[in-house]
Amino acid sequence: MRHLCVSLAAVAACFAVPLPADASGDFGCSPSWRLAHANLTGCDDMAMLGPGNDTRTNLTMLLFDRRGSLPKPGEGAPPQPLGALFDWRTLSGWLAARPDNSDSDYSSGEGSRCRSNGSGAEAFEAAVNAARLPGGEGAALIAARRALSPDCAKPGASVSAALDGQVKSPAGKAFAAYLAGAQAFYDGDFDAAGTRFASLGGARDGWLHETARYMAARVEVNRIQVGLFDEYGIPKDFKTVDQKVVAAADAGLRAYLKDYPNGLYAASARGLLRRVYWFGSKRDLLAQQYVALFAQPAAVRGLNDVDLAEEMDTKLLPDLTIGDTRDPTLLAVLDLKRMRVADDEVSAGCCTNPLTLDELNGQRAAFAGNQPLFDYLVAAHRFYIGKKPAEVLKLIPDAARQSSFNEVQFSRQMLRGMALEAVGDRNARGFWLEMLPGAKLSAQHSALELALAYHDERTGGLARVFAPDSPVDDASLRGILLMNVADAGLLRKQATGAKAPHERQLALFTLLYKELSRGAYRDFDTDLALVPAGAATDTNFYDLLGSEALPLGLFLKPTQATDIDCPTLRRTAADLAATPGSPHARLCLADFFRANGFDQFVLDSQPPKQDLGGTKTLFAGPVYSRLEVYKSIAADAKAPADDKAYALFRAVNCYAPSGNNSCGGTDVDKNVRKGWFARLKSDYPKSRWARELRYYW
Amino acid sequence: MIRAVIAVAAVAIALLPVPIARDRRVTPAYDAVWLWAGVRAQPALATARRLYLLQGQVEATDPVRYAAQRAAVPHLGNRDVWMVVRVETLAWSPEIYEQLLAALGRWRAAGNRVVGVQIDFDARTRHLEEYAAFLRGLRARLPRDCRLGITGLLDWSANGDPKGLDALAGVVDEAVLQIYQGRHVIPGYQAYLAKLDRLKLPFRIGLLQGGEWQPTPGLEENPYFRGYVTFLVNPRDPHSEE
């Protein structure tokens, strides 16, 4: 069974859960278990920079390097380590940047100028109270502000706040002017709002002066957005944006920030400035803004690492080109994105406009002081696009032994190891082992475990993966090898000797299923003794890696009965051991598989060749197919009539109700099915099966 | 009764010649479409009568966060709109429900005919009953004139636990089952479609624009089949790789 990731969001990115318990959960996204990922899948991000990583992942990793620290699980992060392959959501959850979720009216990131109405009213009240206005002016102003309840979803003016000459003092009138500006602003009357806020340039009250300056600029930002979104809420072509309004908003925000660099609205004003540059298609200025944020701690910039990466990914990176910036971090992210190449049939045509080596070399000066990163990019280009691993070895010297790896160091050595594997270097395995002690990040360690498991699988070294001192500890990696490649001997060993209880179950389940389905009936009888008393019978086995308790008891006591008269499964296996060709025993076994849901079972297929578990299985015997069993019994002249009738009935039913075969084996033409149907009806007209079968498919 | 209908459909399959589309890239007319975040406007939108518009995403952060996914409130006049919410976790705090209802209110206030809320969640086949319980709670909070839909997984019908499927059938108005993974049509999707007769709730089939599609024999005769929804994608260009 193929693991699917069928959520809509999978189009944007598949959401993998890299925990052993869920790594191949029946419908998490399915990682491709290998090291080289030349294209974005959304499921195969790694702790090394690469074209297959999400741009946000590459960006975030580089920002950690820029700050001189390793990524660390954040407060409130899930306790599970980050695996070898993960998706952006998992990484961002692991970094656990705690989002602000305090506003129950609006979702995070939702754009509406009415959002600030609540906080604006509170600040206004505080300022009015602090101003100690004469008489009842303060109370009147606060009441008027509270009455203002704008609805930005609806066109038209909000309920007017009636002050009716209750405010007479100059200070009070300034607040009243501000209030009128705020109402005009929320009503979308930007001309009136702009005039009101501009009139407060001479206001004595500090709050009023600063806030009016900020609001005047915000009016211009909102003016840009008038008519900018189409009926679907999608921004229209930014080429239509009025650059004069962009310039006014830009000037207003920068003037505010100049006078109030640490002002009440400084973080907001910087965010608005980025918005203005985004609307105004000023990619170079926008890039500069982000680069300035790189140096700041999250608290100062008002944006955590995750939100920063997400904002850049939607606002900057889609249109940014290497001509727009000289920042090495941004260039590296862009370069890696343009190194994506199709690495399978389905992604063919994915990646137009690949980066050329000349373009990359043209950026050399921008990487002054970042030579290791630049060399890595050139090496990655030679590896992924040039397909010349030998050149990687020349560009990146061996530095496998390190006390720890930062992002670029780790990426360099991983790529060197991959190149060693690609050229068939005899010491590739030794190289991975040398890297292990320095892999301090869980995702780094898991990546090396994958490298070792992959290497051992392809060099006849499966026993090393399962040796007591094996560094390959990841349950998914070990499970994939047991399910797909291990022979009976290794499965038997792990069924009793594995440290992890789940691995013992998985090994035994795989062993028993394969013995039954591949014809090792005598061994099945012996190994059945390994099933613990009280083993589950009715838990699911669709998700062998993720399911906590596998239904090993199913082999002792099937939950679903066969449709024909059969002895116990154990007895059926014993009959087959004595007489492998026995038609009735073969039908009984097939019915056990059918009734208990083993059709198209995951243990009857393997991952793609280039992925972990994709090499030829070491388990002896052919893959099972009910259809082939039925065909051979139907063609067996010596088979009893009852058995032949049932074989024909079941063979036809393999195609019910859609015409698609669910029984494995070699497909047959519809005419053949028609022939089976006709044979059942004509040769065994009195059999229960002939009477029961009304159609063929 | 349902079994009888399916049997009749089966007769039709067995006895009638079934046309198979020869062009593997043909998708049915764009009667209903999904419009996801980051997908630009295109002509197919203009003719669609039913629009599934991504509005927000409930993210499995700590605390759980409701993140907007559409830059502005749409204004779609009298076309049927489903407000789609992508969901990563079912552990919703009270604020999440409030934010969803507030967003629904704003979309309606802007004059949109929002007929339903669609939840897009990767419900695992073995957890369908829990999912159904969650949906029952959500349904109770939605306005009475607002339907509840879900996206579904193609393997539900094949692998889903029957009790879970029945529980879902009792709580949602429709499920849209997708036949693609990421940007790719799932290999062997027809084998999954073949087992749809276990699903006893109104369903649509979700197709990928430009993706492979061959109508499966019997699908359109299924009494629960309600049509197709096409997931729109941007034309390929260097900037649409994300």
Q: How do B113-121 and B203-208 pair as beta strands?
A: unpaired
pLDDT one-digit tens code per residue, A474-495: 999 999 999 999 999 999 999 9
ipTM score here?
0.74
List beta partners, residue B150. Answer: B119, B175
Chain A within 8 Å of B81 (Cβ-Cβ)? no
Alpha carbon distance, N-terminus to C-terminus of chain A: 23
Judging by beta carbons within 10 Å of its beta carbon (0-12, 13-18, 19+), is residue A636 exposed, middle or buried? middle
Residue A546 C-beta-side C-alpha neighbours within 13 Å: 18
Chain B residues lying within 8 Å of A344, measured CB to CB: none
Task: With beta carbons under 8 A apart, name residues in chain B contacting A538.
Answer: none
Measured distance CA(A479)–CA(B20) in Å, rounded: 41
Interface test with B, best of A11, A314, A560 (most B CBs within 10 A): A11
Domain range for residue A256? 114-265
Q: Chain B residues with CB inside 8 Å of A12's CB? A: 36-38, 242
Say if the Cβ atoms of A27 and B180 lie within 8 Å. no
Instruction: State residue A5's pLDDT score.
Output: 30
Angstroms from B119 CA to nearest CA on chain A: 10
Domain positions in chain B are 2-234
Peptide bond into A354 cis (omega under 30): no
Q: CA of B196, closest CA in chain A: separation in Å? A: 10
Task: Return the bridge partners of B176, or none.
Answer: B151, B204
Whether chain B has a CB inside 8 Å of the CB on A58: the answer is no
Tell me: do A87 and A125 sit in the same domain.
Answer: no
Are A429 and A495 contained in the same domain?
A: no
pLDDT at B241: 38
Mark the ranges of chain B whose per-residue pLDDT is less than 70. 1-29, 124-126, 155, 157-162, 181-188, 191, 194, 236-242
Comparing A221 with A164, which gets the higher pLDDT?
A221
The reply to whether residue B10 touches residue A697, judged by beta carbons under 8 angstroms, is yes
Mean pLDDT of A379-387: 97
What pLDDT score was predicted for residue A114? 82
Segment 504-543 of chain A within 8 Å of chain B by CB: 540, 542-543
- Tell whether the torsion through CA atoms of A154, A155, A159 and A163 is positive or negative: positive
Asked if A85 and A454 count as a contact pair (C-beta separation under 8 A), the reply is: no
How far A661 CA lies from chain B's nearest CA (Å)? 8
Contact A63, A75 (CB under 8 A): no
| Claim to verify: residue A682 and residue A545 sit in the same structural domain | yes
Residue A140, in any domain of the structure: yes
In the prediction, which pLDDT does B179 show?
A: 79
Quick one: closest CA in B to A42, which residue? Answer: B182
Lowest mean pLDDT among A39-48, A132-141, A676-685, B172-181: B172-181
Give A517-534 pLDDT, tens digit per residue. 999 999 999 999 999 989
Q: A294 — contact with chain B (CB < 8 Å)?
A: no
Q: What is the pLDDT of residue A88?
A: 87
Is the Cβ pair B71, A234 closer than 8 Å? yes
Nearest CB to B182: which of A14, A314, A337? A14
Residue type, A1: M
Alpha-carbon distance A423 to nearest alpha carbon in chain B (angstroms) = 30
Q: Which residue in the block uniquely carries the two structure tokens 């200025």?
A: A285
Asked whether residue A543 is domain-assigned, the answer is yes
Asked if residue A435 lies in contact with residue A448, where contact means CB atoms within 8 angstroms, the answer is yes
- pLDDT of residue A424 exceeding 90: yes
> Which residue is it, tokens 């009475």?
B144
Domain boundary at A237, A265, A293, which?
A265
Residue A290 in domain: no
Distance from CA of A1 to the nearest CA of B (A): 10
Q: How far is A108 from chain B (nearest CA, A)?
A: 4
Q: Dihedral through CA A261, CA A265, CA A266, CA A267, nearest 10?
A: 160
Q: Is A111 on the interface with B (CB under 8 A)?
A: yes
Per-residue confidence band for A160, with pLDDT thresholds at 50, 70 and 90: low
Q: Would you tell me which residues 160-219 of chain A have a C-beta closer than 8 angstroms to some C-beta of chain B?
A: none
Same domain, yes or no, for A487 and A438? no
CA distance A379 to A394: 9
Q: Does B67 touch chain A (CB under 8 A)?
A: yes
Please list every residue in chain A whose beta carbon sits closer than 8 Å to the beta carbon of residue B45: 232
| Total residue length of chain A | 697
Kindly state whether residue A91 falls inside one of the protein's structural domains: yes
Q: Which residues contact A196 (CB under 8 A, 6 or more apart)?
A: A177, A178, A180, A181, A184
Letter for the amino acid at A357?
A: L
- With cut-offs at 50, 70 and 90, classify the pLDDT of residue A84: very high
Q: Of A248, A265, A282, at which residue does a domain stop? A: A265
d(CA B223, nearest CA chain A) in Å: 15
- The stretches of A153-259 forming alpha helices (DSSP H) are 170-187, 190-198, 206-225, 243-259
A179 contacts A209 by C-beta, under 8 angstroms: no
Domain membership of residue A121 (yes or no) is yes
**Encoding tokens for residue A691?**
């009477």
Cβ contacts of B207 on chain A, cutoff 8 Å: none
Non-local (6+) Cβ contacts of A283 within 8 A are A277, A316, A319, A320, A321, A324
Residue A147: closest CA among A182, A115, A177: A182
Q: What pLDDT does B221 receive?
A: 79
Read off the pLDDT band of A190 (50, 70, 90): very high
The pLDDT-based confidence of A187 (bands split at 50, 70, 90) is confident
Are A372 and A405 part of one and the same domain? yes
Q: Which CATH class is domain B2-234?
A: alpha beta
User: Mapping DSSP to helix (H, G, I), strand (E, B) and coil, where does residue B190 land?
Assistant: helix
Asked if A662 and B11 come within 8 Å (Cβ–Cβ), the reply is no
| Amino acid, res. A624 | Y
* Cβ <8 Å between B73 and A153: yes
CB pairs under 8 A between A and B: 246
Instruction: Give the up-direction half-sphere exposure of residue A458: CA atoms within 13 A in the CB hemisphere.
Output: 18
pLDDT (mean) for A417-433: 98
* Inter-chain touch B37–A99, beta carbons under 8 Å: no
The gap from C-alpha A447 to its chain's centroid, in whole angstroms, comes to 17
Is the predicted pLDDT of residue A457 greater than 90, yes or no?
A: yes
Task: Output DSSP code: residue A409.
Answer: H
A52 & A192 share domain: no
Looking at the structure, do residues A397 and A546 belong to the same domain, yes or no?
Answer: no
A258 belongs to a structural domain: yes
Over the stretch A33-50, which tens digit does the pLDDT of each residue have? 999 999 888 889 999 999
A12 touching chain B per CB within 8 A: yes
- The verdict on residue A409 lying in a domain is yes
Give how far A104 is from chain B: nearest CA, Å: 5
- A window 551-580, beta carbon within 8 A of B: none
Of A4, A109, A338, the CB nearest to B181: A4
Q: Is B66 on the interface with A (CB under 8 A)?
A: yes
The answer on A453 and A377 residing in a single domain is yes
Using a CB–CB cutoff of 8 Å, tell me whether B68 touches chain A: yes
Contact B10 A540 (CB under 8 A): no
The DSSP element (H or E) to which A360 belongs, if any, is helix A357-361
Instruction: Quickly list DSSP for A657-685.
Output: TTS---S-S----HHHHHHHHHHHHHHST
Taking contacts as CB-CB distances below 8 angstroms, the residues of chain B near A224 are none
Mutate to test the interface with B, among A75, A103, A231 (most CBs of B within 10 A): A231
Interface probe for B, chosen from A19, A27, A598 (most Cβ of B below 10 Å), is A27
What is the rounded distance in angstroms from the CA atom of residue A265 to the CA atom of residue A268? 5
Angle at B207 between CA B202 and CA B208, to 5 degrees: 155
B3 touches chain A (CB under 8 A): no
Nearest to A99 among B10, B61, B238 (CB): B61
Query: What is the token pair recorded at B169?
Result: 């059938």
Question: In chain B, which residues have their Cβ closer than 8 Å to the Cβ of A102?
Answer: 95
Distance of residue A169 Cα from the nearest chain B Cα, in angstroms: 39
Cβ atoms of A4 and A17 within 8 Å: the answer is no
B36 to A11: CB separation less than 8 angstroms, yes or no = yes
Instruction: Give yes or no: residues A541 and A667 share one domain.
Output: yes
**Which tens digits make up the pLDDT trace of A290-329?**
999 998 888 778 788 888 998 999 889 988 999 999 999 9
Predicted TM-score (pTM) of this structure: 0.80
Residue A289 lies in a domain: no
Contact check, Cβ <8 Å, B68/A93: no
Closest partner residue to B153 among A6, A102, A346, by Cβ? A6
Q: Nearest CB to A8: which of B34, B93, B239?
A: B34
Q: How confident is residue A237, by pLDDT bands cut at 50, 70 and 90?
A: confident
Report yes or no: A600 at the B interface, CB cutoff 8 Å.
yes
| Cβ–Cβ gap A26/B155 under 8 Å | yes
What CA–CA distance (Å, rounded) separates B44 from A629? 49
DSSP secondary structure string for all residues of A115-183:
GGHHHHHHHHHHHHHHHT-STTHHHHHHHHHHH----TTS-SPPPPP--TT---SHHHHHHHHHHHHHH
- Among A4, A352, A696, whose Cβ lies nearest the Cβ of B14? A696
pLDDT at A447: 98
pLDDT at A523: 97
Q: How many structural domains compose chain A?
A: 3
Question: In chain B, how many H helices and how many E strands?
Answer: 7, 11
